[in-house]
Amino acid sequence: MNHKTQQNLFVRFFVVFTFLLMIAANALANILPINGQTTGDVSNAYRNLFAPAALTFSIWGVIYILLTGYTLFHLGFFRSKVTDMDIESLEKIGIYFSVSSLANTAWIFSWHYHQILLSLIWMLVILVCLIKINLVIKKMSLTTKEKFFVKIPFRVYFGWITVATIANITTFLVSIQWNGWGLSELIWTIVVLAAGLIIGSLTMLKFRDLAYGLVLLWAYFGIWVKHTSISGFNNHYPEIVVAVIVCWILFLIIGIFVVARKQNQTT
């Protein structure tokens, strides 16, 4: 067994172990729950106008299913023995993914024990890892099957973590009772929504990927639901409702542009 093979086996083990650890931590967070609170309970303890409705978090189920597919693919399932795939790049993705899984696990415990600043640091680690992963993927030439098992899972995960990072930042500011430099919470929420629109749009254009954009549409839809539902803010902040709708429309337009551009390039 040569050194390269040993390295492959270690990376495979690391990917599987850290992924299962992340899944276990997230499951226990709501089954036990950790520190007597669910993840949503902690979120509700820091009221902010950027938080989406609870139904929005169902996307984690989709993310975990997609990441399970990637993990199996990394182990060699769904791959032909003869492949032109860049194995070295796949290993880089595996290492970054493992680090992100460890950070995700640490985030759970930090969040549930109300260590909001620490949770933000772990969230930024996840975000950086996903940026690295998606930059590696962008340079790879993938088949349709490889796109399904490698590209799509990390585009969707990246999209959600982009929004989650912004939400984590707003929660941290609430936790330290930041006064917003004299501006109202309403104004700051609109600013944050606009910032998310700019960051998300630029990222979508850079990677030219619709999957990332669809996640942003879902997240902003969740914010709209929270602000318009009786169980949420019940239209108490109409300016934010309008801002979310405008952001949603602009995301949709940019998504259509990305799809049209890709089709033109293919043609």
Q: How many angstroms separate the CA atoms of 239 and 233, rounded?
A: 12
Q: Which residues contact 186 (CB under 8 A, 6 or more apart)?
A: 49, 237, 239, 240
Give me the pLDDT at residue 6, please: 46
Q: How many angstroms separate the CA atoms of 14 and 117, rounded?
A: 27
Q: How many angstroms separate the CA atoms of 254 and 260, rounded?
A: 10
Give me the pLDDT at residue 5, please: 47
Give me the pLDDT at residue 82, please: 53
Is residue 116 within 8 Å of 175, Cβ to Cβ?
Answer: yes
Q: What is the dihedral of CA 91, 101, 61, 211, to 10 degrees?
A: -50
Quick one: CA dihedral 41, 43, 47, 49, positive or negative? negative
Give me the pLDDT at residue 264, please: 79
Give me the pLDDT at residue 84, please: 60
3-state secondary structure at position 23: helix
Q: How many angstroms separate the CA atoms of 224 and 245, rounded?
A: 8
Low-confidence ranges of the chain (pLDDT < 70): 1-7, 81-84, 266-267
